[in-house]
Chains A and B, each alone.
Chain A
Amino acid sequence: MGDLKLSNIEIEKLANINKKLLKNYSKETLSSREYIGSERYEMTSSCKGCSGTCEKTCQGNCDGACFVQ
């Protein structure tokens, strides 16, 4: 398999991006969840009829846990 596996070099590149970020910001700042605003999870028309799912509790991340098949 491995269709979705990143190479070690690709992982290393990502690690370097984070190392650079840590030079400009504290780890505490970068780890904060406060950047996520509620606007990200606004109800959309597709939430209508998403029976069993509720954007208030699932935060738009429900993924059809409650499903209409």
Chain B
Amino acid sequence: MMVNRKVIMLTVTESCNLDCVYCYEGQKSQKNMDIEVAKNIITDAFVNSDDFEEIEFDFFGGEPTIQKETIMELVEWSFSQNFNKPFYFFLETNGTLVHGEFQDWLVKHKDHLYVGLSIDGTPETHNKNRSNSYEQIDIDFFAKNYPSQGARMTIGNDTVGNLFNDIMHLHKIGFSKVDAFFAFGVDWSSKTTKEKISREFRKLCDYYLSNPDVPENRLFDIDLAMLIDNDPVKKWCGSGVDIISVAVDGKIYPCHMFQPNSTNTPLQLDNIDFHSIKDFSDTSCSECMLEQICPNCYGMNYCISGDILRRERSLCDITKIRALAVSYLRAKQIEKGILNISPQETYQTIESIRKIQENFGYI
């Protein structure tokens, strides 16, 4: 059963103790959210969320655990109030400040405060991307207490050649699920880089074919059958509708990417109404067969061009390689008879495989 959920991101601090190579936050500061501002936002959320059945509050940063006292007070205060609908909290962290008594407190609250760890793979990869912080993380704590949450892995340009090993490493240290994402705003277009990525994807394909019981990484979570769908391009995320983010000063934005700490673009958000847009296509992408499945970050678009619908193109080649990899894997699975899908989905998947291989097989 799908739950109609409102997501409210609380930027409890703009400060971060790391300096990750792919970080999009161009305006880091030491500013923190005042606790009373946060309480007012939470209270107002229950007044202004009639269309939603539950509310998720995300602690966001910077690195939110720098403000762990604020986090603890807000969670305990919230559950002492008689709010009128279900709610929970989520904390995404780099893990470096999660130790000792704070761990005990998190465990005590884990039924309504979910925690996700950002970790990029082997110590070598992680340290290169994330300020030599691997040894500062109590990895067992996260793997043991939040097993279904998985590891959140960001793929950077310098380490992409180790992608397969990085994913395997995270499985080995206890994360059954690894959510890997290519960093936005990075130049992935060189031939050498694309060759590396193709090779890593091929290793993953071979691994999944040999180990069909292992859940595939979300990099392979592309519904190929959607590619023969002629519907208008759907909105990619909940930005500005199901989601709002709140900056440290209490100002509200469509999502964190529109916040001043993320963008250098002068914001004229009065001109943006996500509710009124019916077609989220970018006319310059209309000839691309992958538009329906192509990740789209409206905030990043806005940062780059000032137009939320004009796609930021850094992931163009990545999306093509991913589609090609998924088409390769599904073809092999169909051939081996290990893809348990209906005749309709088989038919549509095969049609898409043929189109993808024809259009992007050169990559």
Residues of A within 8 A of B (CB): 1-6, 10-11, 13-15, 17-18, 21-22, 24-25, 29-33, 35-36, 38, 41-46, 48-49, 51-69
Contact = CB atoms under 8 A, between A and B. Distances in A.
Given A46-B149, A52-B9, A65 B297 contact: yes
B60 interface: yes
B351 A18 contact: yes
Interface of B: 1-5, 7, 9, 20, 22-24, 56, 58, 60, 88, 90-92, 114, 116, 118, 148-150, 152, 154, 177, 179, 181, 183-184, 194-195, 198-199, 201-202, 205, 218, 221-223, 225-226, 228-229, 234-239, 241-243, 245, 255-257, 293, 295-297, 299, 321, 324-325, 327-328, 331, 334-335, 342-348, 350-351, 353-354, 357, 361-363
A30 B344 contact: yes
Contact of B198 (A3, A10, A22): A3
Summarize B's interface: helix, strand, loop or mixed.
Answer: mixed
A57 B234 contact: yes
Contacts of A65: 236-237, 295-297
B242 A54 contact: yes
Contacts of A63: 181, 218, 221-222, 295
Give the most central of B3, B4, B222, B347: most A CB within 10 Å: B347
A51 B238 CA distance: 9
Give the most central of A4, A31, A66: most B CB within 10 Å: A4
Contacts of A13: 335
Contacts of A44: 148
12 contacts: A4-B321, A4-B361, A17-B334, A35-B342, A36-B225, A43-B3, A46-B148, A49-B58, A49-B92, A52-B245, A55-B2, A58-B237
B90 A57 contact: no
A46 B182 CA distance: 18
A67 B155 CA distance: 12
Given A5-B357, A10-B335, A35-B344, A51 B9 contact: yes
Given A6-B328, A11-B357, A65-B296, A49 B347 contact: no
A45 B114 contact: yes
Contacts of B2: 38, 41-43, 55-56
Given A18-B347, A52-B299, 15 more contacts: A6-B328, A11-B353, A14-B350, A21-B343, A35-B344, A36-B345, A43-B3, A44-B148, A46-B149, A49-B91, A51-B60, A56-B4, A56-B5, A63-B295, A66-B236
